[in-house]
Each structure stands twice: as C-alpha cells, then as structure tokens.
Amino acid sequence: MANADTRTQILDSAEALFAERGYRGTSVRAITDGAGANLAAVGYHFGSKAELWAAVARRVIEPINAAQNAGLDRLLAQSSNPRVPELVEAFAGPLFDVTPQGDKGGARTSRLVMKILSDPADEARSWTGPTQDRVRDRYLAAFKRALPGISAQELGFRLRGLLAVTAVDRIDIDTQRHSTGDFPAQDDAVRRFAITFLAAAMSAPPTRS
C-alpha cells in the first residue's frame, strides 16, 4: 500500500508541476519534494522523468479518450455519417466535462492538456500509445466522410485545433474568474458557443496551395 500511495503522490505532484512549468521546467527533485518522497522514487516507480510524464499524460487524457470513443459509438449507432457539429460535440465535449467552471482541478487539467499539445521537449511528444492513435484515427475517418474535400493532413491539423481551442477557453475562463471574481458566461452557454465556432472551423473550405 505504501508503494501505491507513493506512486499516486508522485503522479499528483508531477501533474501540478508539469501543468504550470512544462516538461523541461520541472525537475525530478521538485516533483519528489512535492510528493514527500525521496529522489530515487521516480526511478523506482516510473523508470525516468520521461516515463513519468507519459504516465501523467495518460492519466489525464485516457478518460477523455474513453468519453470521445463512447460519444462516437453513440453517433455511429444512429447514423453511419454523423454531421460535423455532432462529431465536434462528441470530440470536444468531454473536455468541458472534465474542466468545469470553478473547478481548480479542471483548470489544471486544461493547462496540462495545453502543455501536452505544445511542449517542445522531444520527451514530451513520446507519450501517446494505441489508445490515443485509435481515437484519432476513428475521428479522422468520421470527419473524412463528413468533409470529403479536405485532406487527411489538414483534418489532422483541425482536429488538434479543437483540443487546443477548448483548452485555451477553459484556462481563460479560470483566469477571468480569478481577475473579476465572476464568470463571463455560464458553462452551458460557453459550450454552445465553442461547438458552434469549432464546427464552423472544421467545415471551412480546404486550404488552397
């Protein structure tokens, strides 16, 4: 039990620090100090800092992936060709569910998602596995059916944009709350705004070279 508790404490400490400082800005010592563990604990439980990053990323992203898969399953059970707004809702909606307004953990999750998407460290881009690949490939195929005129490369860019825009919105909402003590709009309204905007962005004409 002590080992399991230490592992979880390291994950919690690393998640908070990675979300604020990114991969290179976070030292193993800072992580273990935050977890109340000795310096060797990261190597014992995870093998390396890079593998700890991967474990943190998967712990945050895999519940989102599960919800995205379930949402797509529901759509495909109704129609073999879901519409773009429905696909956008199924893909981006889970980020709203795990990052509600006023939730400190949700704001941290949004910051960590942004770090996962944008951190320049080579080690920070090697965390993905079969689960993430399957979700991406399923949505790319569904969007390709809905938007046949757009290349797979451009659809992949737009799909990453859905996550980035939603995460930035969640961070901005939290920042405004701390600045003004209030939210600019209710979460359900913000979600509708975002889905409308993102569906339009996904449906934009293909880029011409």
Q: What is the number of other CB atoms lying within 10 angstroms of the CB of residue 184? A: 12
List pLDDT tens digits, range 48-67. Answer: 999 999 999 999 899 999 99
pTM: 0.83
Query: How far apart (Å, rounded) are the C-alpha atoms in residues 6 and 94?
Result: 29
pLDDT tens digit sequence for 152-175: 999 999 999 998 888 777 777 656
Q: Is 100 left (phi over 0), alpha (psi -120 to 50) or beta?
A: beta
